[in-house]
Amino acid sequence: MEITIDMTDPLVIEFAALVDAHDLTYAYSDDDRCYQKGRKSERELGNFARDNLSYAVAREVWNAAVERKLMPCGQSTFFWPDPIDKYREEGELI
């Protein structure tokens, strides 16, 4: 099932900007500050998506950013549902 995303929707634009600013590889950093910043950003992204967007739209925007930012050989780890869905059980994100 293909989904159409309205890229003129202010909420989609804001979410896309947040995703683009997010460091996808923060978990691989040796710097705890970088790691904590990445975790915070990930929580904020999930909360924003949960409160403002459909799951399908948020997932498409996230996965498009993964495809733009990472080489194909490293993308699979970062595609939604991972990493954001892991927080669903904790009640923090989507």
Mind listing the pLDDT tens digit for each residue in 42-75? 889 989 998 999 888 999 999 999 999 999 988 8
Q: What confidence score (pLDDT) does residue 81 get?
A: 67
How far is it, in rounded angstroms, from Cα 45 to Cα 22?
9
Indicate if the pLDDT at residue 11 is higher than 60: yes
Q: What confidence score (pLDDT) does residue 93 get?
A: 46
How far is it, in rounded angstroms, from Cα 25 to Cα 34?
10
DSSP three-state, residue 68: helix
Closest-CA residue to 23 (of 36, 5, 11, 10): 36
Q: Where are the domains of the chain?
A: 10-90
